[in-house]
Amino acid sequence: MATGIGDQAGKLGKQAADAAEQAVDRAKEAAQQAGERAKGAAEQAASFAKSAAGRLGDARDTAWDVAQRAGSEARERAADAYRRGGETMRELAERVEERPLAALLIAGAVGYAIAYLLHHRR
């Protein structure tokens, strides 16, 4: 009878050991799958970050190009305005030389009008 109980205890011990081994194997598989999923998620995150950085770099380059073009256009327009201002001053000087009395009368009338507007508001 002791042998029967010992055999049964041995079988139960073996079954418990097998069950424990299977549980360990399943835990290893689950851990391995979790590790692979984590690795995949990390790779996706790295890919996303790299893509975002590339897009940010492209946006930065585009903004730089736009700023460069705007600056260049502003310089061209300023040079053009300066040139036209000089031409206008030369034309005005020529007209004043041609008709000095008319220029003096126009300047006096403009001055009187400005003075009237400023003093009339008081």
Domain borders along the chain are 2-120
Q: Is 99 helix (H, G, I), strand (E, B) or coil?
A: coil
Of the spans 1-5, 10-14, 28-32, which averages the highest pLDDT?
28-32
**pLDDT exceeds cutoff 60 at 1:** no
For residue 34, CA distances in Å to 37, 41, 43, 48, 110 come to: 5, 10, 14, 21, 87
Predicted confidence band at 24 (pLDDT cuts at 50, 70, 90)?
confident
Cα separation of the two ends of the chain: 129
**Predicted structure pTM score:** 0.44
Q: Which residues contact 95 (CB under 8 A, 6 or more apart)?
A: 103
Instruction: Give the pLDDT mean for 79-93.
Output: 92
Q: Which residues contact 103 (CB under 8 A, 6 or more apart)?
A: 95, 96
Instruction: Give the pLDDT mean for 21-50.
Output: 84
